[in-house]
Amino acid sequence: MKILTQHIDVPGIETIDVYRQHGGYSAVEKAIKTMAPDEVTEEVKKSGLRGRGGAGFPVGMKWSFLAKPEGVPRYLVCNADESEPGTFKDHYLMMKSPHTLIEGMIVSSYALGANTSYIYVRGELMYVINILEKAIQEAYDKGLLGKNILGSGYDLDLFVQPGGGAYICGEETALLESLEGKRGNPRNKPPFPAVKGLYQCPTVVNNVESIAATSWIVNNGGEEYAKIGVGRSAGTKLISVSGHVRKPGVYEIPLGITVEDFIYSDEWCGGIRDGHKLKAVVAGGSSVPILPAELILKTTNGENRLMTYESLSDGGFATGTMLGSGGFIVMDETTCIVHNTLTFARFYHHESCGQCSPCREGTGWMDKVIHRIEHGKGRMEDIDLLVDVAKKIEGNTICPLGDAAAWPVAAAIRHFRDEFEWHVKHPEEATKPGAVFMREGASWTL
Amino acid sequence: MKVTIDNITIEVEPGTTIMQAARQIGAHVAPPAMCYYEPLKGSGGKCRACLVKVTAGSEKDPRPMPKLVPSCITQVQDGMIVENTTSPQVLEARKGVVEFLLLNHPLDCPVCDQAGECHLQDFTFEHGVSKTRTIEERNTFEPQDLGPYIQLNMNRCVLCYRCVYTADQVTEGRVHGVMHRGDHAEISTYIEKAIDNDFSGNVIDVCPVGALTDKTYRFKNRVWFTKPVDAHCDCGKCSGKVTLWYRGDEVIRVTARKNEWGEVQDFICNTCRFERKKTSDWTIEGPMKVARHSVISANKYGASSIKPAFPLKQAAEQYKQIDDNRDRSFLEPQKQLK
């Protein structure tokens, strides 16, 4: 079942003519000509679509929170600042089929009553920005954007804004600050963007994938969408797979398939590369807790773990993780978890905005300590120190970057403490190129 | 609206923040503040020193808030119940914040002009532990010259953004700001431009630490050797209400007047601050009311006149339980105050 990527390999799908030949922009016609804005919101609510950027908040509910005071403009902002290590699904979608996003933007803006909308794309993706700009121009030329869309009296201007290449600008309020031309520091909440967002006006910020999915929902109805998937995890999800699998790439999966299927079946990842075994998976982008092979495939109850929001988070952070943004990083037994954790910690150290003290100082501290451990200068007490520092960052910061920095470190130690201890106890061995600790009797031990 | 903080209930106006409500009750329940500065709009929420636990959101919705909240920017709801120092979780989080703030701090109090009136010192004394767990090299910055009056020592900065807000709201144009990000973020002017306008000196007063110091006063004295008096003059540019800091008969420093929370009420101009340093320039009103976080009171007016405020009590009670092999005998005289 494919919704977003159904026609993605059709040659020329990036042009409006080919896109329309494959049923493109029918949702715009249906929504604008036959539906009231509230009806669109209602369909999205019924669909059970959840935010695909990471947090998984129901989109329809987010829309219904939007304040609608008289005489104040409302904005829809598409968060295309996808910068989480391991996540590259939005990039792929916008690059291959920009009109899928633009159609979703028109439908969603119509539902929210926004007359100006923005797509905030991370600055490194300049060529994607060019693709989007071209596609938007095509949509303007066909009367799908601009004044009086399809003769309905509804006006919409759509702009693409390149970011400066900061991870923090993917946080919705930092994104709004950046969009306003300021330093990308997250705002204190409340007020939430739904009340005071862009230029202090009510604003909805949604991920590319969430917005793109709304056109299918309009075309086929929310109930149809809700039928795909399992329970509260409705619909399909783009998963960007990287790491030691046979076929890394972006896959659109119906939520609810088992993780085992996803990794090993030929339809998706095709299994671990030859001669190697699965050691660990980061299931939703670098910020979610890493899980060892036995916990990612089965929950502690012995049930198969599914690719759903609920199943992946089963067991809380003790034995579970999160679906997050769908950045699925697979590691085989050749991966050193300490080195991997260092890479993540260094990233968050580099990307912390520096506004609030726990994150600003804590990310740097964790980076330096893990760096020492990785390079053979660790002390046994450093491991508990890391756990404690992570605990003191988590939940005490302005925005979720603090949590995102703390979770991977805490989880790596939770599940792979022996590996950290090995680095501390055997620094000479551990710092040899390619040296990896092999846990005795573990499923990934060769 | 009724709000209960550390088991003390108070009636406040709608729109009051938890911090303001706590301050109305008094110093013993007021959370510490490193970045929040009431006269500066938009300040607060950054340092996380004032995190408190809300155990009941309001009368209508008595669910507790899931995370600790910054009391300086969280508005009270009717029937809200807040735990400040009565919550072990809050104290633990604050210990963490102290540790984070000191992580890259040079701890050069013995040569720092701010020592004795430093909010970071107070905060550390009240909420920190005296042992460090870090062995990493500290991040350092070169000292920067911000024109003829102001010296920036970025190593001491806690990035509270107060000076940024001051320049935005008090002066005519801001030429400095925060550059870079994360723990390499720094306060700086663009291409080392001098901060030059009539009210620039106020950034020194709002700085909670010794990052921004007065060049005309630098290294001249320790604050506890000085005698502050309130004075005023007829100034065309500002209110002219200041505090003069005497050493003997000499005015060695002029600052704006601060309230008991260390906040400037009337910002003063550079002429008053840097040029008028003779007693004959001023009309003396009388001795300054010494703020709670000042060490001056201890030396000049006798320890018996200070109330056994929260920090001393806290320290006397808690430092015994902490694994701390520092000499604590200096706390003994304070115990007699009870």
Sequential DSSP letters for B141-202: ---EE-SSSEEE-GGG-----HHHHHHHHTSS---EEEES-GGG-EEEEGGG----STTTTH
Same structural domain, A319 and A344:
no
Q: Residue B324 has what pLDDT? A: 53
Residues A368, B96: C-beta atoms closer than 8 Å: no
pLDDT tens readout for residues B143-169: 888 888 999 999 999 999 999 999 999
| Cα–Cα distances in angstroms (integers) from residue B140 to residues A156, A361, B184, in the given order | 50, 13, 9
CA angle A104, A107, A113 (to 5 degrees): 130
Same structural domain, A349 and A369:
yes
Same structural domain, A312 and A373:
no
Whether residue A6 is contained in a domain is answered as no
State the SS3 of chain A: CCCCCCCCCCCCCCCHHHHHHCCCCHHHHHHHHHCCHHHHHHHHHHHCCECCCCCCCEHHHHHHCCCCCCCCCCEEEEEECCCCCCCCHHHHHHHHCHHHHHHHHHHHHHHHCCCEEEEEECCCCHHHHHHHHHHHHHHHHCCCCECCHHHCCCCEEEEEEECCCCHHHHCHHHHHHHHCCCCCCCCCCCCCCCCCCHHHCCEEEEEHHHHHHHHHHHHHCHHHHHHCEECCEECEEEEEEEECECCCEEEEEECCCEHHHHHHCCCCCCCECCCCCEEEEECCCCCCCEEEHHHHHECCCCCECECCHHHHCCCHHHHCCCCCCCEEEEEECCCCHHHHHHHHHHHHHHHCCCCCHHHHHHHHHHHHHHHHHHCCCCCHHHHHHHHHHHHHHCCCCCCCHHHHHHHHHHHHHHHHHHHHHHHHHCHHHHCCCCCCCCCCCCCCCC
Same structural domain, A45 and A184:
yes
Calculate how close chain A gets to B102, using CA atoms only, in Å: 9
Same structural domain, A278 and A138:
no
| CATH number for the domain harbouring residue A56 | 3.40.50.11540
Q: Residue A408 has what pLDDT? A: 97
Who among A188, A360, A395 is closest to B182 (CB)?
A: A360
Calculate how close chain A gets to B103, using CA atoms only, in Å: 7
What pairs with residue B54 in β-bridges? B82
Instruction: Provide the 8-state DSSP code for B273.
Output: I
Tell me if A218 sits within 8 A of A27, measured CB to CB.
yes
Q: Assess B181–A contact: CB distance below 8 Å, yes or no.
A: yes
Who among B134, B137, B158 is closest to A357 (CB)?
A: B158
Q: Whose CA is closest to A238, among A270, A204, A212, A265?
A: A212
ipTM of the complex model: 0.92
Q: Residue A46 has what pLDDT? A: 96
Up-side HSE of residue A10: CA atoms within 13 Å toward CB?
Answer: 20
Whether residue A373 is contained in a domain is answered as yes
Tell me if A435 sits within 8 A of A422, measured CB to CB.
no
Burial class (CB in 10 A: 0-12, 13-18, 19+), B36: buried
Who among A183, A354, A389 is closest to B183 (CB)?
A: A354
The 3-state DSSP class for residue B99 equals: helix
Q: Residue A369 has what pLDDT? A: 97
Who among B93, B177, B183 is closest to A360 (CB)?
A: B183
Up-side HSE of residue B191: CA atoms within 13 Å toward CB?
Answer: 0
Chain A partners of B159 at a C-beta cutoff of 8 Å?
354-355, 357, 360
Distance CA B207, CA A84 (A): 35
Distance CA B31, CA B70 (A): 10
Q: Residue B159 has what pLDDT? A: 95
Q: What backbone phi and psi angles, to 5 degrees, belong to A208?
A: -50, -50
Distance CA A158, CA A32 (A): 16
Q: Copy the structure tokens of residue A334.
A: 């050749």
Chain A partners of B178 at a C-beta cutoff of 8 Å?
183, 354
| CATH number for the domain harbouring residue A316 | 3.10.20.600
Q: How confident is the model at residue A243 (pLDDT cuts 50, 70, 90)?
A: very high
Tell me if A156 sits within 8 A of A117, measured CB to CB.
yes
Q: Can you tell me the mean pLDDT for A96-103?
A: 97
The residues, ordered by sequence, that sit 6+ positions from A295 with a Cβ below 8 Å of its Cβ are A305, A315, A319, A320, A415
Q: Residue A51 has what pLDDT? A: 95
- Average pLDDT along chain A: 95
Q: Residue B310 has what pLDDT? A: 58
| CATH number for the domain harbouring residue A377 | 1.20.1440.230
Q: Assess A375–B contact: CB distance below 8 Å, yes or no.
A: no
Residues B181, A188: C-beta atoms closer than 8 Å: no
Whether residue A318 is contained in a domain is answered as yes
Q: What backbone phi and psi angles, to 5 degrees, belong to B126?
A: -75, -40
Q: Copy the structure tokens of residue B175.
A: 């030429």
Q: Residue B301 has what pLDDT? A: 45
Of the residues A300, A332, A364, the one at which a domain ends: A332
The 3-state DSSP class for residue B245 equals: strand
Q: Whose CA is closest to B166, among B206, B129, B214?
A: B206
What percentage of chain B carries pLDDT values higher than 70? 86
Up-side HSE of residue B325: CA atoms within 13 Å toward CB?
Answer: 0
Residues B182, A365: C-beta atoms closer than 8 Å: no
Same structural domain, A169 and A273:
no
Q: What residue of B is the nearest CA neighbor of A350?
A: B182
For residue A191, whether the previous peptide bond is cis, meaning omega lies within 30 degrees of 0, is yes
Lowest-pLDDT choice from A113-122, A377-386, A419-428, B179-188: B179-188
Q: Whose CA is closest to A183, among A194, A171, A192, A196?
A: A171
Same structural domain, A300 and A408:
no
Q: Copy the structure tokens of residue B306.
A: 């200070």
Burial class (CB in 10 A: 0-12, 13-18, 19+), B234: exposed
Q: Copy the structure tokens of residue A144.
A: 């799908």
Q: Can you tell me the mean pLDDT for A370-383?
A: 96
Q: Assess B178–A contact: CB distance below 8 Å, yes or no.
A: yes
Whether residue A166 is contained in a domain is answered as yes
Q: Can you tell me the mean pLDDT for A56-70?
A: 94
b/e sequence B40-61, b meaning 16+ C-beta within 10 Å: beebbbbbbbbbbbbbbbbeee
pLDDT tens readout for residues A165-214: 899 999 999 999 999 999 999 999 899 999 999 999 999 999 999 999 99
Q: Copy the structure tokens of residue B199.
A: 């009210």
pLDDT tens readout for residues A207-242: 999 999 999 999 999 999 999 999 999 999 999 999
Instruction: Provide the 8-state DSSP code for B289.
Output: P
Q: Can you tell me the mean pLDDT for A290-301?
A: 95
Q: List, edge to edge, every strand of the sheet that includes B250-256.
A: B250-256, B241-247, B227-232, B283-287
Q: Assess A349–B contact: CB distance below 8 Å, yes or no.
A: yes
Residues B103, A398: C-beta atoms closer than 8 Å: no
Q: Residue B37 has what pLDDT? A: 96
The 3-state DSSP class for residue B102 equals: helix
Same structural domain, A98 and A35:
yes
Same structural domain, A223 and A245:
no
| Cα–Cα distances in angstroms (integers) from residue B122 to residues A12, A53, A382, B36, B88, in the given order | 66, 42, 28, 15, 19
Q: Residue B304 has what pLDDT? A: 47
Q: Residue A202 has what pLDDT? A: 97
Domain count, chain A: 3
Q: Whose CA is closest to A258, among A286, A281, A290?
A: A281
Residue type, A182: K
Q: What DSSP string describes B11-54?
A: E--TT-BHHHHHHHH-TTTPPP-SS--TTSTT--SSS-TTEEEE
CA A362 to chain centre: 24
Q: Copy the structure tokens of residue B60.
A: 């209508």
Same structural domain, A37 and A140:
yes
CATH number of B2-94: 3.10.20.740
Same structural domain, A273 and A300:
yes
Same structural domain, A81 and A211:
yes
CA angle B129, B130, B135 (to 5 degrees): 100
- Average pLDDT along chain B: 87
Asked whether the domain spanning B136-219 has the same topology as the one spanning B2-94, the reply is no
Q: Can you tell me the mean pLDDT for A92-109?
A: 97
Please state the domain extents for chain B: 2-94, 136-219, 220-298, 307-335
Of the residues A332, A347, A371, the one at which a domain ends: A332
Q: Can you tell me the mean pLDDT for A273-287?
A: 95
Whether residue A5 is contained in a domain is answered as no
Distance CA A239, CA A248 (A): 10
Q: Can you tell me the mean pLDDT for A380-395?
A: 96
User: Which one of B34, B36, B48, B165 makes the best mutation probe of the A interface by having the most chain A beta carbons within 10 Å?
Assistant: B48
Of the residues A332, A365, A398, the one at which a domain ends: A332
Q: Assess A356–B contact: CB distance below 8 Å, yes or no.
A: yes
Domain of residue A46, residue span: 16-227
pLDDT tens readout for residues A20-48: 999 999 999 999 999 999 999 999 999 99
Q: Please give the CATH topology (third level) of the domain spanning B136-219.
A: Alpha-Beta Plaits (3.30.70)
β-pair type (B51-56, B80-83): antiparallel
Q: Whose CA is closest to B103, among A404, A358, A402, A378?
A: A358
Q: Which ranges of chain B have pLDDT less than 70? A: 192, 291-294, 297-338
Who among B97, B136, B181 is closest to A352 (CB)?
A: B181
Q: What residue of A is the nearest CA neighbor of B103?
A: A361
Distance CA B182, CA B80 (A): 34
Whether residue A9 is contained in a domain is answered as no
